[in-house]
Homo-oligomer: A and B are copies of this chain.
Amino acid sequence: MGNVRVTVWNECWHEHNTEIVPKIYPDGIHGAIAAALREEGGLEVRTATLRDPECGLSDAVLTATDVLVWWGHMRHHEVPDDKVERVVGRVWEGMGFVGLHSAHYSKPFQRLMGTQCGLKWRVDNKKEILWVVDPTHPIAAGINEKIELPQTEMYGEWFQIPAPDELVFIPWFEGGEVFRSGCCWKRGKGRVFYFRPGHETLPIYHHSDVRRVLRNAVRWAASR
């Protein structure tokens, strides 16, 4: 087996429309995620954004992608429906899909779930502790019981998703909430993982354990 070909897709709006995000993520959120994936061997990583031709989702890109990592927040509606169907179709054919943070409301994720994917949220920049509830799951490999994030955005239940096939992480939020935050599903021949951390105004994707989970998730999603 050759390398796993990963495309990290980002709507890349905050990077151009806020002052804070470029400071935290000088190479873009996609750049930080890509760097995390490149820390170890075996993954061949490219990035694509909504600002690219065909919204970064051309047939050429998707056909050459084994796992698509998705970060979106403010511009979900700008992703054309035909591109969404193409992404979903590729998942059915076997492409992995890793939805991060506010990708819960992205069109491809909603389409793959068949639900609204709503949730509670609050920007309070308080502490999060992500507990591992399936310690031998490959996505939790190398994580020792929990991940502590000193400052985070809060996402709370009820998370309107189908019951995950496997549930890997449940976080505790300082403000009083919990959330199903590491969720696995199969859709057609493709594997789907949702991982909650990743708020744009906080350096979540620079955290070593989060980066480890990203690598684990991509490898898991590529498995066939």
Q: Which residues of A contact B (CB under 8 A)?
A: 88, 92, 94, 111-116, 129, 131-136, 138, 141, 145, 156-160, 162-163, 165-167, 170-173, 176-178, 180, 185-191, 223-224
Contacts and interface: CB of A to CB of B under 8 A. Distances in A.
A158 B145 contact: yes
A163 B186 contact: yes
Given A94-B136, A163-B165, A131 B156 contact: yes
Copies in the complex: 4
Contact of A176 (B133, B172, B186, B224): B172
Nearest to A94: B136
Contacts of A180: 133, 170
A160 to B, nearest CB: 6
A132 B156 CA distance: 11
A188 B224 CA distance: 25
